[in-house]
Structure 1
Amino acid sequence: MSVFSKATSSFVRQMQGDRDGSLIHVSRPHDSHKLVPLAVVVKRNRYWPWQRPKYQPSDFILRDLLQGDAAFDPDVTESPFISYNETSRDDKSGNWKAKADMVQVDVEGEGSSKRKLSFGNLQNQKVTVKRLLEDCRDRKLDMRHYLVQQVQKRNEVLAVLKERVLTTTPCGITETQKKQGSCMGVLNLMGMLGTEISVQESFSVNVDRDISLEIPAQTVIAYSLLELEIQKELCLQPETFGGFESDSGTSSPSFDTVDQQRVGNGIDLSRIQPPKRAPLSALNSELQKQEESLCLLAELPVRRCLFEMLFKSLEDRDTLSLQEQALADWCCRAGVLELQPQRMNAPSCALLDLLCLVPAIQSENGSAAECSPPPQLTAVHLLVSAMEALPDETLFQLTLCSPEILQAIDELICQLRGSCQPLPDNSVPAILLEEDGKTWKLLEQLLRSSNVTLERVKDGLRAETGSEEGDLPLVLCLTIRGLSSLCNGDD
């Protein structure tokens, strides 16, 4: 996640306690100039149950999408908001050891980051919704506009900006990152006379990075929306869930605005929150829905290259987000790939290029005859979306896991899910008990970072969901299962 996105996201989290949760953080400073009053924003529905909706500012404002030439200007009220300053610090550490035959590798790493931001005195601008409703009462949406047609085809939602929070003076964000790592390799050989020969090589890496970002005045850092319900004509109402009217005459709202089972893109979008303080076996019903798809990853001819590519993406949340979005677009087009280089970075393009080498995916690319994407493509998208849903701390802990440790953790989780009873100690994979407890500590930190507690009891080992609500235990299990599947065998 970029420095700017981290700062605005932190600001919104702090504000949600005093508001109704409607504020959306601005993830890129380049979007600020688009977020004017009544700017049109596309709300992209979630593809998987655990995902949050995503918002894409467009280059249009509401009047660009309406029929007729009569223009209207929004009635906007301005008021001082708050003065916001924040200082935060984050420390991380971990290590792992791998041993196979005559080769032994030890890796240790630690890092810290300190962020200081000052948005100064902020301003709040609100559109007078009552005036807007009057201005739009007899106006109709231009259904031939290409943005409207594109959104309708993808079953997304159009919304307009009704409120924004922006800076009033130049301000700045500074972040200091320090990373230290070491690696030692040992090769043991037997000499001709039976003597043991040990060859040792080690190196260390120290990285210090200072980032300073200057933010100009009038930069939008957060906003809220009014969704459009599009029936036979435009409908603007407060608290209305957006969507398009279907052929049956009923509106098809966003999947995120209803608490009931829905199906989108052929995927079951029923959202079942994992219970608090429950054994991992409580996740089985949800996990079993997706694990059949993840099993296909072990059959991919490029699985090892794919593992290395995705494992590297764990270090860069921005890349993960771009990869997930590219895969979502590909899946929504039923497996027909349409490259959009302007919305991707090099790792995202490399991922798509690699998947195009898979015969089962390549054979369907370029033809929209099928109404659903290839199952192998869906499996990769499932894994990447689960990875993206994990918090930064969990992603960091995963980077410290070797392929062997990932497979051992997957085996352990499967055993813990298999019964409500504690797991006997002798059933724990041996690799997790090595290194004087360091690997076990890594395991505990990894699970704890995604709301799973692991504890030893009289009869063995027990794992359960934590005290917080959310899908983190579910997406962690899916991520570990997916990455472990990619580790099986060679390409």
Structure 2
Amino acid sequence: MFATATRNFVEEVDHGGLLIPVSSLNDTIAVLTVVVKRKRFWFWQKPKYIPTDFTLNDILTGDTPIKPGIIETDFIKYNGTYGDNIQGNVDASFVLSGVSVQGKDSSKLQSSFGSLKKEEVDVQKLLRDSKDRFLDMSHSLVQQTKEKHRQSFGIVKERIVTVQPCSVIEEVQQGGECGGRLSFCGPKNPKVSLKENGSLSKDSNVTMEIPIHSTIAYALIELEIKHDGRYELCLMSDTTGGFEVDGPSLKRLLGVSGASAEASENSCLREELERLSDHFQLLSALPVNTRSSLLQQMTKVMEDQGAISSLQSVLDQMCLGERPDLGNVATTESQKENIQAILDLLDQPGQRESAEAGQSTSVLTALHLIASAIDEMTNECLAILGMCCSLAMLQPLEILVQCMSGKGEMPLSSAGLAAMTEDMYKKTEHLFASSNVSLKRNGDTVKTEINHRPGTLPLVLCIAVRGLASLAHCV
């Protein structure tokens, strides 16, 4: 709830800029706080920022601390209200269960941060004070960060701070008719009443009081660190930091790399999806029971943005060869059970037997790809996509994302699109619009058009839809 409020704030006041939303009130972020920047597996993923308990002075050699000049200015007065109303029908068929849902949901998130202050480091003074200073390369934080090749240091150069007690209020109302054996739950855990082939209703009203002097967003200067501990401040926004390495550094992350800037957006999408086609084919080739169960569990996890992030983090660890501990996962117990069910499906005997051929690792990577794409989606996009996880919806969605990466238009009478109802088209149109893609009808022709906006939402949509559709094939 707090993370959503700060993310909305940054989107409004610094979209595409340098501000990073604070994800937890438990994070203590001051000027010169050391933040670990972790590059993700896929090039289109935003980096993950992990605030530490240390400041720059804590990891410097010598006894003379750096005392930065701090400039304080009034920022803005911010009060935001975000809400949505979603109505729809979902008919999902799984091998092990079937469900039909008719519902109307409404939610409202009110962020009353009030007057905000900006604290900013005098960068020129910091640059002078950093001359001839060295990091303590034997410090535990430096050692542990250096061991991870995709991690680097940044220090907080600017933060946005509350100057009065404020609040975040969330109101959720859900109601609907459910049939079948698939339990239905929303993104929170207020009171729920549900009977098989009965009705569901849910209401919640949560208020979070935020104390004075709380940081809600911050910006970094990254550090380029030499072998001997000398460091340079990365003053340009397009300059990234890191540790000096022996020999050529690894520029390419796991999976895919960015397409050339000269290529058209359609051809960029097509090239990236072609690079990833083996992942989608591998998911389609899984036994039907496995695919059905994976789709069912993914649909449940998608009901909660936090659960998707937790699943992505767990799969991150597994891709690095680590054994995740679900006890440390920050989500509800029911969602932990859903995540564990997905992990159990990845560890089925059939998967273990195919390890020699590398299939088990590939299936893990393929599922990590899908979860990572879904995790990059906006809340609005995720809410709509969650209502579309049925064969009836995923088939036309897959055809339309292929159209987006191809010629950009096709007849509505084409196989797979002809059965689309008006309600299905409206959902699809809304889903595409929330991913910076316009969907337009002209007679019997439907046209997709990628809007020229920063970010990778169109690619993320294509990956998520292709992946989920791969699990739904012939289910």
Superposition TM-score tier, normalisation by shorter sequence: 0.7 to 0.9
Distance 2:466 2:147 in 1: 33
The reply on whether 1:448 has 2:430 as its aligned counterpart is no
The reply on whether 1:26 has 2:22 as its aligned counterpart is yes
The reply on whether 1:47 has 2:41 as its aligned counterpart is yes
Distance 1:307 1:486 in 2: 6
Amino acid corresponding to residue 205 of structure 1 in structure 2:
L
The reply on whether 1:429 has 2:416 as its aligned counterpart is yes
Following TM superposition, the consecutive aligned residue runs of length 4 or more in structure 1 with deviations greater than 6 angstroms are 273-276
1:244 is aligned to 243
Aligned 1:99-118 pairs, distance under 5 A: 107-118=101-112
Q: Do the aligned partners of 2:412 and 2:418 also contact (CA within 8 Å) in 1?
A: no
1:303 is aligned to 291
Please point out which of 156, 167, 175 is paired with 1:172. 167
Please point out which of 304, 307, 311 is paired with 1:316. 304
2:271 is aligned to 285
1:192 is aligned to none
Task: Tell me how far 1:450 sits from its aligned partner.
Answer: 1.9
State which drifts further: 137-146 or 309-318. 137-146
Q: Structure 1 167/362 Cα, relative in aligned 2: closer, same or farther at 3 Å?
A: farther
The reply on whether 1:10 has 2:8 as its aligned counterpart is yes
Task: Tell me how far 1:117 sits from its aligned partner.
Answer: 2.2
Q: Structure 1 433/178 Cα, relative in aligned 2: closer, same or farther at 3 Å?
A: same
Amino acid corresponding to residue 122 of structure 1 in structure 2:
L
Please point out which of 360, 370, 376 is paired with 1:389. 376
SS of the residue corresponding to residue 14 of structure 2 reads helix
Aligned 1:126-165 pairs, distance under 5 A: 126-155=120-149, 156-165=151-160
Distance 2:406 2:324 in 1: 45
Question: For each residue in 1:226-246, what CA deviation from the matched residue of structure 2 results, as whole angstroms up to 9, or x when unmatched?
Answer: 111011333232335211112
Aligned 1:23-422 pairs, distance under 5 A: 23-31=19-27, 33=28, 35-97=29-91, 107-155=101-149, 156-183=151-178, 203-232=198-227, 233-237=229-233, 238-239=235-236, 240-248=239-247, 262-265=251-254, 267-271=255-259, 283-300=269-286, 302-331=290-319, 333=320, 335-339=321-325, 341-345=327-331, 346=333, 347=335, 350=340, 353-354=343-344, 357-358=347-348, 374-413=361-400, 416=403, 420=407, 422=409
Q: Do the aligned partners of 2:43 and 2:253 also contact (CA within 8 Å) in 1?
A: no
5+ residue gaps, structure 2? 181-195
- TM-score relative to the length of structure 1: 0.80
Amino acid corresponding to residue 465 of structure 1 in structure 2:
I
Task: Tell me how far 1:88 sits from its aligned partner.
Answer: 3.2
Task: Tell me how far 1:470 sits from its aligned partner.
Answer: 3.3
Q: Do the aligned partners of 2:381 and 2:434 also contact (CA within 8 Å) in 1?
A: yes
Q: Structure 1 87/410 Cα, relative in aligned 2: closer, same or farther at 3 Å?
A: closer
State which drifts further: 51-60 or 335-344. 335-344
Task: Tell me how far 1:384 sits from its aligned partner.
Answer: 0.4
Distance 2:12 2:408 in 1: 40
Q: Do the aligned partners of 1:281 and 1:417 also contact (CA within 8 Å) in 2?
A: no
- TM-score relative to the length of structure 2: 0.82
SS of the residue corresponding to residue 108 of structure 1 reads strand
Question: For each residue in 1:102-127, what CA deviation from the matched residue of structure 2 results, as whole angstroms up to 9, or x when unmatched?
Answer: x9975322222223222122222222
State which drifts further: 378-387 or 63-72. 63-72
1:479 is aligned to 464
Q: Structure 1 439/87 Cα, relative in aligned 2: closer, same or farther at 3 Å?
A: closer
RMSD over equivalenced CA pairs, Å: 3.4
